[in-house]
Amino acid sequence: MTSTSILGPGPPAKPHLLSTKTTSSIFSWWYWILSLLRPSKSPKMAEIKTWTVTEPYLNIHCALGEGPFYEADRNTLRFVDIMKKHLHTVDLTVGPGSLKTLQLDMPVGVTADIEGVDASKKILVGGKSGIYTLERETGKHELLKRFYDTEEKDERLRSNDGAVDPEGRFWIGTMNDFWVGEPQPEGTIFRFNTDLSRYTARSSITIPNSIRWSPDHKTLYFVDSKKRRLIAFDYSASTADLSNERVFFVYEGGGEPDGCRLDVEGNIWQAIYGDSCVLKISPQGKVIGRVDYPTKNITCPVFVGTELWVTTAGGDEEKYSGGVFQSRCRGGRSKGLQVQTGKGCSRVVRSQLVP
């Protein structure tokens, strides 16, 4: 910022004792010193685009809303309340009044479509003890594969977030169940292959969260919530091998990174639990945007075309806590990325369910 001073008339000037060249040199020296002391504008901050959401689309006070999944063929949104053991579905064409809630008998952290199976009837879920098929009309479920082989671990842990990879494998993170209290580093990231074999990708994690892939399928991103960081791996789509683990982004605020989604340009839209926002992070790891919400516990985003929707948590703590919010995020080309086979369909158990 520059300033201009206008001086009024003064007494006659005295003769200079220094030459014009010397005076110019002294002024240049002082300008250089002042430029070092003057605070400069941060180019990164100037590039941040912000959006503000003022009210929810659904004000249903989820205790722990999570796992939003857009069903494009029916224009419906499904999501879960892990603590209340609910599966919610809302028809976006009809509006908020179309909300349907299915009461379950176990906590479900994440859902996925199954390739070749009508998702309005049956889906794949990460539940209390492993992965299950779930009938959406009745809530009846069938355990397909356990997370653990011991009853003690089976009891202490539950599923959290997860996703389907480009080849139809189902990745899920586990963490301590609510009754355990403060989460301990007992969680694991599992990969369930298309033949239902189980592979341990990482262990000893406190809160494993979203797992996502870059548009070219060459990078896997994983959110380690307790350590407030996003981890990146080189990823082989054909073998699912992970290599070159590195820290991609560290959140330095008071909250914790929770769920995330990628757009078609490779930007990560990262929910921040406790800090009322979703951050837009570039493929280079820089914050380039922020969506602010009127409640603090933002859990997970999902794209509905170019609209960003989020689930939240908190029950009745705040006026809008636990609601579902819609943001159009105008001013960019932020279309959601669907990198998975069959637009998010899992090939796990397909051979058992499809003739």
- DSSP one-letter code for 152: H
In whole angstroms, give the CA distance from residue 332 to residue 328: 10
pLDDT at residue 151, as a whole number? 76
**Cα distance between residue 165 and residue 235, in whole Å:** 10
- At residue 334, the pLDDT reads 54
pLDDT, mean of each 10-residue run, the chain (355 residues): 34 39 49 50 61 97 98 97 98 98 97 95 97 97 92 88 95 96 97 95 97 97 98 97 98 97 96 98 97 98 94 94 88 48 57 50
Instruction: Assess if residue 22 is contained within a domain.
Output: no
Catalytic sites, residue numbers: 258
Q: How far apart are CA 212 and CA 123, in angstroms?
A: 20
What is the per-residue burial (b if ≥16 Cβ within 10 Å, else e) of 166-188? Answer: ebbbbbbbbbbbeeeeebeebbb
The domain in which residue 71 lies consists of: 45-353
pLDDT score for 345: 65
CA distance 350 to 355: 9
Could you please report the per-residue DSSP string of 171-227?
EEEEEE-GGG-S--S-EEEEEE-TTS-EEEEEEEESSEEEEEE-TTS-EEEEEETTT
Using alpha carbons, select from 262, 283, 278, 279 the residue that is nearest to residue 335.
Answer: 262
- Per the annotation, binding residues are 66, 158, 160, 209, 258
Residue whose token pair is 């049956």: 122
Tell me what pLDDT residue 344 has: 55
The CATH number for 328's domain is 2.120.10.30
The tokens for 216 are 């070219």
When divided into structural domains, the chain yields a total of 1
In a domain, 40, yes or no: no
Q: Give domain status of residue 17, yes or no.
A: no
Beta strands 277-281 and 268-273 are antiparallel
Q: Please report whether residue 37 resides in a domain.
A: no
Residues in the chain: 355
Please check whether residue 31 lies inside any domain of the structure. no
Please indicate, yes or no, if residue 20 is contained in any of the structural domains. no
Helices and strands, number each (H, E), in the chain:
4, 25
- H-type helices in 53-182, by residue range? 151-156
Q: Cα–Cα distance between 106 and 82 in angstroms, integer? A: 8
**Is 38 part of a structural domain of the chain?**
no
Residue 251: inside a domain:
yes
Strands 287-292 and 49-52: parallel
In sequence order, what are the residues at sequence separation of 6 or more whose Cβ sits closer than 8 angstroms to the Cβ of residue 284?
A: none
**Binding site feature residues for substrate:** 158, 160
pLDDT for the residue numbered 350: 56
Which residues on adjacent β-strands are paired with residue 100?
A: 89
